[in-house]
Amino acid sequence: MTLTYSKAIDDVAQNSLVLDICGGLAEHLAIPYDRVTDAYGGYKGNPSPTLPAKSTAAANTTKTRMLNTTNTTAKK
């Protein structure tokens, strides 16, 4: 199942929101919370045990900023 939202959700920085969504799905499907997990093994009431320290989206944004700064500096 895939859910699509109009605004992107950072699954690391906003992990509690992701786990709340997982919990809502579990309740709607009438199955235990631990049957609906996020990509890092967490579910409602149980934090994701393998959650990275920094999100990939944040790392990519920082990398892009660094590349843009380098390109601007090189052009001058």
For 28-68, how does the pLDDT look when each residue is reduced to its tens digit (9 = 90+)?
999 999 999 999 999 999 999 999 988 766 555 544 555 55
Question: What is the total count of domains within the chain?
Answer: 1
Domain annotation covers residue 64: yes
Three-state SS at 34 = helix
Q: Grade residue 17 by pLDDT with cuts at 50, 70 and 90.
A: very high
Cα-Cα end-to-end distance for the chain: 49
Q: Grade residue 5 by pLDDT with cuts at 50, 70 and 90.
A: confident
| Averaged pLDDT for residues 9-23 | 94
Domain annotation covers residue 21: yes
Question: Does the structure show a pLDDT above 80 at 7?
Answer: yes
Domain annotation covers residue 51: yes
Domain containing 39 equals 15-75
One-letter amino acid of 8 = A
Measured CA to CA in angstroms, residue 20 lies from 9, 24, 33, 45, 62 at distances of 12, 6, 10, 9, 28
